[in-house]
Structure 1
Amino acid sequence: MARMHLTLQQLRLFEAVSRHRHFTRAAEELHLTQPAVSIQLRRLEENVGAKLFEHIGKRFFLTPAGHEMQAACNDILGRLQVLEQSLDSLDDTLKGPLRLSVVTSTKYFLPHLLGSFIVDHPAVLPRLIVTNRERVIERLVENLDDFVIMGQAPDDLAVEAHPFYENLIVVAAHTQHPLSAVRSIPPLQIARERWLVREAGSGTRSAFDRYLIENDLAITPYMELGSTEAIKQGVMAGLGVSVLPISSMQLELTNGCLAVLDVQGFPLCRRWNAVWLKGKTLSPVARAFVDFLLAGASSDRTSPLAGGRLSASNAPGN
């Protein structure tokens, strides 16, 4: 280890390149030229005494040594960030970055929660990545964020998961669907419908799959779509029915573009969770935001939007 003479600039450069998997994007983020980044990383490899990157065809990969360096960079830079924010907190002003990765469906409520938090703490700088569940788990494993927000926490990872927000999943249909006026629809009957579903691995899809298993049912999806917005458009076009978080349907329900079917066993009641690796030390900013989320949960805040729960006007049976 004595042979290593690493600089913080080299570690920041390597972290950015390994995160983006792209030299040009890393250079743009750090306001440097690509040649300057390449030179610094070559020097880093010389100091380490091992290749950290390799190109196979047009694809960019980290070597085994590169993965070790990535983990070390995340640890070192993360600790420095915690130190910086801890020192900043001594002046009683909460400030600094808040790095979050969240699954796509949270975009319908999380900006409202984040906005309320920023009103009280304007010096906090949120950095929000909205992506699919698979990528959120990857970022969780790589410890790239302060914490992540998802539905079901992964069972195969040692994590802390703190539920804070109610996630009601309902069966959505076109307003003129024949079943829109039917009450207490049996699971077997709804299973015969033409189904639009999210891709495998989606949290909403996983919740629906569990519902099918619990009711000893199986469906053949008519269409598999990659986003909640695509699902909503398909349902509104009359292509089929689907399961959707109620929080994603507020505008369409208000405008009478979608209906919630009264299906036995629905709504599926889940919770959104703030999740991080067990043993991780949260920065003061991250801890404050988690406390803010949990305080809302303890006060039974289920939605920052009007009608976050199934209201009398859109609930099945009314």
Structure 2
Amino acid sequence: MRLTLRQLEVFEAVAHHLSYSRASETLHLTQPAVSIQIKQLEEAIGIPLFEQLGKKIYLTEAGQELRRYSRNIVQQLEEAESVFEEMKGMRRGKLAISVASTAGYFMPFLLAQFSKRFPEVAITLNVSNREVLLQELAQNSMDFAIMGRPPDGLGLDFTSFLENPLVVIAPPDHSLVTEHGIPLTRIQQETFIARELGSGTRSATERFFAEKGIKLTTGTEMSKNESIKQAVQAGMGVSVLSLNTVMLELEAKRLAVLDVESFPIQRHWYLVHRSKKRLPGVALAFKEFILNEAAALLESEAGYVQPARP
């Protein structure tokens, strides 16, 4: 039995995404090429590594066992490549970045600015909720995460670089739009549309209202900010979202920010990575770019300036 490093790299990508198409995008290969590598690997081992149930694939017991080794092997190879790139002073390489879903509204703009300076850096961007990001950090499966402040004691290095105010949004014809200093008890009377469990926005919102002794009436849970915005516009209720996510709707007067006491909830975005992770040259360049320039770039970009209160 002879296994190749390429086979293990492809296997690790498929095992991570549980998707041949996602793995092919990550590896910049065609889907048939990925399938061939997995087939050859299974033939070399003599045991199926994946099983398909409906439209989804799952790791078999043998696949789970192999992944214990493949994850470490692939990470060690990537670290070795990073060391050699750093030694040669190369401005090319790979960056794997995972961001909280709300950060997905501004990170493409920042990545575009970074890519103009480092056009030979291949960037993979994954969008997940806070719970998934913490799992990925624990597995060391990305270079950086962009998220709210992570818990202490997880062996993470994190630095804030951008404000992330949470605001109460409502349809523009809502009766409270013209009010000022709206009491929290008045918001308690509204039907509340919440993000899903595991979302950083939801955790921060629930913690804020609990500290104030306020229990919200949750009418609907939704996993996408876009769905929540559409629901609020349709008059299904009010919600709390990051100001970053609603700038276009505010400008178009499809949504309104309510002037609620103790709001906005002041939060920040953090650049996060494993404390002991060796950062190659391109990763260090990205870290410097985000920490030193991201806020100014976004403030100068139309659509990211905080609107005045009505």
Q: Could you tell which deviates more after superposition, 93-102 or 78-87?
A: 78-87
**Alpha-carbon spacing, 1:229–1:69, altered in 2? closer, same or farther (3 Å):** same
Is 1:182 aligned to residue 188 of structure 2?
no
> Of 111, 134, 137, which aligns to 1:140?
137
1:174-201 CA distances to partner (integer Å, 9 max, x unpaired)? 1111111111111111111121111122
Aligned counterparts of 2:73 and 2:288: Cα–Cα separation in 1: 25
Q: Could you tell which deviates more after superposition, 198-207 or 136-145?
A: 136-145
SS at match of 1:179: coil
Aligned residue for 2:38?
A: 37
- 8 Å contact kept, 1:140–1:277: yes
1:246 corresponds to which letter in structure 2?
L
Is 1:310 aligned to residue 269 of structure 2?
no
**Alpha-carbon spacing, 1:279–1:5, altered in 2? closer, same or farther (3 Å):** farther
Number of aligned residue pairs: 305
Aligned counterparts of 2:203 and 2:11: Cα–Cα separation in 1: 36
Aligned counterparts of 2:120 and 2:24: Cα–Cα separation in 1: 26
Aligned counterparts of 1:235 and 1:195: Cα–Cα separation in 2: 9
Aligned counterparts of 2:58 and 2:82: Cα–Cα separation in 1: 32
- 8 Å contact kept, 1:168–1:270: yes
Is 1:118 aligned to residue 118 of structure 2?
no
SS at match of 2:126: strand
Aligned residue for 1:18?
A: 15
- 8 Å contact kept, 1:15–1:74: yes
1:257 corresponds to which letter in structure 2?
R
> Of 242, 248, 254, which aligns to 1:245?
242
SS at match of 2:177: helix
**Alpha-carbon spacing, 1:287–1:36, altered in 2? closer, same or farther (3 Å):** closer
> Of 198, 206, 222, which aligns to 2:219?
222
- The equivalences for 1:59-138 within 5 A come to 60-62=57-59, 66-67=63-64, 69-89=66-86, 92-138=89-135
2:301 corresponds to which letter in structure 1?
L
Aligned residue for 1:232?
A: 229
Percent identity, aligned pairs only, is 37
**Alpha-carbon spacing, 1:281–1:67, altered in 2? closer, same or farther (3 Å):** farther
Is 1:8 aligned to residue 5 of structure 2?
yes
- The equivalences for 1:142-181 within 5 A come to 142-154=139-151, 157-181=154-178
Displacement of 1:64: 6.9
- 8 Å contact kept, 2:158–2:271: yes
> Of 285, 293, 296, which aligns to 1:296?
293
Is 1:261 aligned to residue 262 of structure 2?
no
1:96 corresponds to which letter in structure 2?
G
Aligned counterparts of 1:127 and 1:27: Cα–Cα separation in 2: 12
Displacement of 1:25: 6.3
> Which 5+ residue runs of structure 2 have no aligned equivalent?
none
Q: Could you tell which deviates more after superposition, 248-257 or 56-65?
A: 56-65
Q: Could you tell which deviates more after superposition, 243-252 or 79-88?
A: 79-88
1:41 corresponds to which letter in structure 2?
E
1:53-111 CA distances to partner (integer Å, 9 max, x unpaired)? 46496675446775564354333323333433443455544111111111211121111
Aligned counterparts of 1:65 and 1:156: Cα–Cα separation in 2: 33
1:103 corresponds to which letter in structure 2?
A
Q: Could you tell which deviates more after superposition, 163-172 or 128-137?
A: 128-137
- 8 Å contact kept, 2:248–2:303: no
* TM-score, with length taken from structure 2: 0.86
Aligned residue for 1:285?
A: 282
Aligned counterparts of 1:163 and 1:53: Cα–Cα separation in 2: 41
Aligned counterparts of 1:53 and 1:249: Cα–Cα separation in 2: 44
**Alpha-carbon spacing, 1:148–1:25, altered in 2? closer, same or farther (3 Å):** closer
Query: RMSD of aligned C-alpha atoms?
Result: 2.8
1:118-167 CA distances to partner (integer Å, 9 max, x unpaired)? 11111111111122333323322222211221113145633222221111
SS at match of 1:189: helix
Q: Could you tell which deviates more after superposition, 254-263 or 24-33?
A: 24-33
Q: Could you tell which deviates more after superposition, 11-20 or 21-30?
A: 21-30
Aligned counterparts of 1:107 and 1:24: Cα–Cα separation in 2: 21
